[in-house]
Structure 1
Amino acid sequence: MTPPMAIDIQSTVNTQSATFSDRLTVNGVAARRSKAPKLAGGIAAHASSDMFKGPGCGKPSAKRWDHRLNEESKSRKASSLKRAAKYLKNPGIISLGGGLPSSQYFPIEFIDVKVPSAPHFTEQETKELGLVKRIGKYDIEEGKSIYDLHVGLNYGQATGPPQLLRFVTEHTEIVHNPPYHDWQCCMDVGSTSSYDLACRMFLTRGECILTEEYTFSSAAETVRPMGVQCVGVKMDEEGLLPSDLDSILTDWDPSAHSNAPKPWLLYTVPSGQNPTGATQSYKRRKELYRMAQKHDLYILEDEPYFFLQMQPYTGPNAPDVPLPASHEAFIEALVPSLLSMDVDGRVMRLDSFSKVIAPGFRLGWITAAEQIIERFVRHAEVSTQNPSGPSQLILFKLLEETWGHSGYLDWLIHLRLEYTKRRNNICYACEKYLPREIASWTPPMAGMFHWIKIDWQQHPSKESKSMPDIEDEIFHASIDRGALIAKGSWSRAETNNPGSDMFFRTTFAAAPADKVEEAIRRMGDALRAVFHLEDKTTNGTAN
């Protein structure tokens, strides 16, 4: 992957997406709900996206994936205990069948949470204008809410409670509107867990999984102990290259991969990819999906950074590009998802609240074809069981009872602006402090990572030192100067293939702007010391 110099970057992207006449809008949610049956949200209540989504008239059915599910997944039966919970809704039923503890012995009477009132999202505004939302033990019985501690602190279904599943189903239809009719959502305990469950549904020891050549380290570390090899697909500044994916699969040589069969499962992070920060354009995603159809691939679309797509990078002292003026304009400004173009049902999309609300909730959801969701639920029933009740209750109070779909999109637009500022800050610092003779980068369009390429061939000892040795020297020189940066080699999909290029990953997500700038200055000092570059003065300040 060879990113061009930052000064040459063009951030314009074709974001035109497919639309359908029955697409749900933010303003259409209330009308749809008014025609739906009353939501039944008792203990361990059954829930399915079919209860909350549109009819999908004219959309095709998903393909069947029996040939891709492994024997373990196909052999799973429904949980007897979870299945019995459906009878709890029967009027007058007296349950002696399940191991449900009595809510009388839940030692929590209520939980108060203070949340921002849209559009007043800053910490100071929340402190002054925020709303205190109380979650009581018996709010349902007392007519105060449709979700309470009596329900939320007890066992639940693997799909998640209907109260929150309804919101994420509607949100998915508003933003992505999958172009086949039998799609469903399922709540989960975070995308890392969902990825693990998906790999255990699809993969068998001795097989391979396709990923970007630099991939999320936990994704690779999940499958290696399963006896599954990662096969890295080459990348450029827009992420995964469909042409290389095609070449790998067309010319697959089992003998070069421990006699593994041709891979068919692809894991990809299309927006703000971890670790490179690359974002696949609409055209790139369409071509990737076409390759998936050609080779009958199934895609795991991991998108924690989808809503951290930012404003175009215009450089220092350039005027800001105006934010989208409406919810519809905001959605149209996002590069469309693979899910939104998935006519076959060959995409499992992993969504997360970790990067847009808080990772400690350990809460997200997947969207996939009904067949895949059903198998996923069978696995979750005997492993994670159900997402955290308190997490779901708090997010329900925030998303459903406080913000609604309109306020949530307002929050996401707010994040777009805030992360744009943070991205700009680190790019300005790189232009100011990094030696351009050896360092180059592409301003990221999404996410929280900035990927910096180092021309290690200019190292004065390149004849006697290997690339890993020079990478380690840069890493420790930065540490010695008080800046922690991540080695690109840590994220190599194929650990036995170091590649020919050197990268370092930096993040602009958490540290304050002045700390980010100082860390980049220290990294620049380290690079100059390691490469024996002459001290230079930038804007009157000696580095």
Structure 2
Amino acid sequence: MPPPSALDVEAATDTQAATFIDRLSLNGVPARRSKSPAVSTGLATYASSDMFKSPGHGKPKAKRWDHILTQESNSRELSSLKAASQLLKTPGLISLGAGLPSSTFFPFEHLQVKVPKPPQFSEPETKDFGLLVQAGKHDAAEGKSLYDIHIAFNYGQATGSAQLLRFVTEHTEIVHHPPYQDWQCTLNVGSIAAFEMALRTFCTRGDYIMTEEYSFCTALETASPLGLKCLGIKMDEEGLLPFHMDDLLTNWSVSERGAQKPFLLYTVPTGQNPTGATQSAQRRRELYAVAQKHDLYILEDEPYYFLQMQPYTGPDAPDIPPPSSHDAFLDALVPSLLSMDIDGRVMRMDSFSKVIAPGMRTGWITASAQIVERIVRHAEVSTQMPSGVSQLVLFKLLDETWGHPGYLDWLIWMRLEYTRKRDNIAIACERFLPREVASWVAPEAGMFHWIKVDWRKHPLIRRGEAVQLLELEEKIWRAGIESGVLTAKGSWFRAEGGAGEEMFFRATFAAAGEKDVTQAVERFGKGLRVEFGLLDRNGEVNGQANGHQ
């Protein structure tokens, strides 16, 4: 198997992001909106990203993906009721056809939330100086807003409301500017729901899907009941190794594997869950080249994309200055696979869960019009639409209060806050974890710190006793619990199940306070020392200890 630097794969087309005359910028949003169709304030009105994005002059069209659509997906027809509801915008039409309840019976007159006023984003600043934002029942009819309780709390389209769809479409173009014409967005109830829909759109029971060797356990648990088998691709500190994926696909044997060659890749390129790894721009280009070579379709799951941090410089090094402008912030982000996708072979899943609140249960996908249309047909008869309450709150916050510049200000603030949290756990690891048996790489993005434990140095192994790796992992995990800290076992996230060749534990540093994280790492370090014989039961350091307590 060749080393990564010798990857012998050539992309069909250069995947460097192209520059187009009509690229949307922050300053260009008002002008774009003035030329776009007005957002309808009717009930359950049809909307599409095509109404809000650039026309895509000079860009190619996406490939067709008919050859990987399942029979289930191909059999989905337009919902009769959703199709009929598009006629509600007809002037003078009296509707007796749609099953919409009257907002007269909605027991809500107005909804009020207090939100940060940029750039005062902290909890104390929001409490003292935040803005009270209110949505009334009939704001649209009264000319106060484009979106209100009367609209949001009723049934809507599976694509989500036009009001919020416009914002996420503009945001996607500003950040990623997909380099093909016929891309679209559609809102959903979160990325796992989108992932499950995608699996049923593309995969048939018995198929393999590819993912990182260690992957998001809920995604694995979503695939399993559908009869899908997960194939783990080896990783390094930058995440998935394209050359290993290429090698597996090039040498695929249907007779040995009992299934056709995989054509679907699920990957979390940024702040990967559970490892915290972030694929570099070059790594993503290599991955995309392998996808072109083997005609793969990519599910790009990016809940942590905007939790990219400042570089880790260590406990005593000076801080690196934060991005000085919106453009500098966007330039500092690792380019997405979507931004390299000239074929329309990427379905990107975005979410508000990690940057606003998971209870919103609102996210969106970006893909070619063909794939979005199939996903929308699925949503029409399952989730139907994201929560109207959530959409209204997000619209009032993101569109009416912050706008695109304010949202980027918030994401820049989040970048610095997560940098501080990451630095805190990395410094704690340097202080308290025994380097004789523990190693780690400070993450560049996300919420997770991935700690490797050298199980070969465990006393049971050194004495030659027969012990299963999963049993040893359980033993070490329990030692941490006995010391007062809960981590997640690495085996929970292994794509192919069971024990791998190495042992890992995941620590999440997002929710706990910095003092609690430091104390938890100290406790985990104590548990490791006890379990590996580096510390006796009275807490005294044995001769093998490295001096850190």
After TM superposition, the score normalised by the length of structure 2 is 0.94
After superposition, the C-alpha distances for 1:28-69 in whole angstroms (9 at most, x for unaligned) are: 101111122322131101000000000110000000000011
Which amino acid in the other structure matches residue 448 of structure 1? M
After superposition, the C-alpha distances for 1:292-335 in whole angstroms (9 at most, x for unaligned) are: 00000000000000000000000001111111111011001000
Partner of residue 107, structure 2:
107
Written as runs of structure 1 = structure 2, the 5 A alignment for 1:223-242 is 223-242=223-242
- 1:479 maps to which of 475, 478, 481: 481
1:531 to 2:532 alignment: yes
Partner of residue 471, structure 2:
469
Written as runs of structure 1 = structure 2, the 5 A alignment for 1:217-228 is 217-228=217-228
Q: Which runs of 5+ in 2 are unaligned?
A: 1-15
Written as runs of structure 1 = structure 2, the 5 A alignment for 1:73-112 is 73-112=73-112
Query: 39-48 or 64-73: which moved more?
Result: 39-48
Q: Which has the higher contact order (CA 8 A, sep 6+)?
A: 1
Classify 1:415/1:455 alpha carbon distance in 2 versus 1 (closer, same or farther; 3 Å). same
Secondary structure at the aligned position of 1:67 is classed as helix
Classify 1:428/1:536 alpha carbon distance in 2 versus 1 (closer, same or farther; 3 Å). farther
Partner of residue 491, structure 1:
493
Written as runs of structure 1 = structure 2, the 5 A alignment for 1:224-373 is 224-257=224-257, 259-373=258-372
Classify 1:441/1:203 alpha carbon distance in 2 versus 1 (closer, same or farther; 3 Å). same
Provide the rounded CA distance (Å) in 2 between the counterparts of 1:346 and 1:532. 51
After superposition, the C-alpha distances for 1:80-121 in whole angstroms (9 at most, x for unaligned) are: 000001110111100010110011001111110110011110
Provide the rounded CA distance (Å) in 2 between the counterparts of 1:533 and 1:541. 10
Partner of residue 46, structure 2:
46
Provide the rounded CA distance (Å) in 2 between the counterparts of 1:172 and 1:246. 30
Classify 1:505/1:19 alpha carbon distance in 2 versus 1 (closer, same or farther; 3 Å). farther
Q: CA deviation at 1:254?
A: 2.7
Which amino acid in the other structure matches residue 435 of structure 2? R
Provide the rounded CA distance (Å) in 2 between the counterparts of 1:541 and 1:279. 32
Q: Which runs of 5+ in 1 are unaligned?
A: 1-15
After superposition, the C-alpha distances for 1:222-251 in whole angstroms (9 at most, x for unaligned) are: 111111100000000000000000011011
Which amino acid in the other structure matches residue 53 of structure 2? K
Partner of residue 6, structure 1:
none
Report if the CA contact (8 A) 1:41-1:161 is conserved. no
Which amino acid in the other structure matches residue 494 of structure 1? E
* Paired residues, number: 525
Provide the rounded CA distance (Å) in 2 between the counterparts of 1:413 and 1:21. 27
Partner of residue 500, structure 1:
501
Secondary structure at the aligned position of 1:461 is classed as helix
Which amino acid in the other structure matches residue 292 of structure 1? A
Partner of residue 9, structure 2:
none
Secondary structure at the aligned position of 1:132 is classed as strand
Report if the CA contact (8 A) 1:49-1:184 is conserved. yes
Report if the CA contact (8 A) 2:432-2:548 is conserved. no
Provide the rounded CA distance (Å) in 2 between the counterparts of 1:72 and 1:95. 33
Provide the rounded CA distance (Å) in 1 between the counterparts of 2:63 and 2:305. 26
Which amino acid in the other structure matches residue 254 of structure 2? P
Which amino acid in the other structure matches residue 475 of structure 1? W
After superposition, the C-alpha distances for 1:403-435 in whole angstroms (9 at most, x for unaligned) are: 000000000000000000000000000000000
Partner of residue 132, structure 1:
132
After superposition, the C-alpha distances for 1:463-487 in whole angstroms (9 at most, x for unaligned) are: 2222212211110011011100110
Report if the CA contact (8 A) 2:431-2:548 is conserved. no
Partner of residue 413, structure 1:
412
Report if the CA contact (8 A) 2:434-2:548 is conserved. no
Secondary structure at the aligned position of 2:113 is classed as strand
Provide the rounded CA distance (Å) in 2 between the counterparts of 1:426 and 1:278. 16
Q: CA deviation at 1:18?
A: 4.5
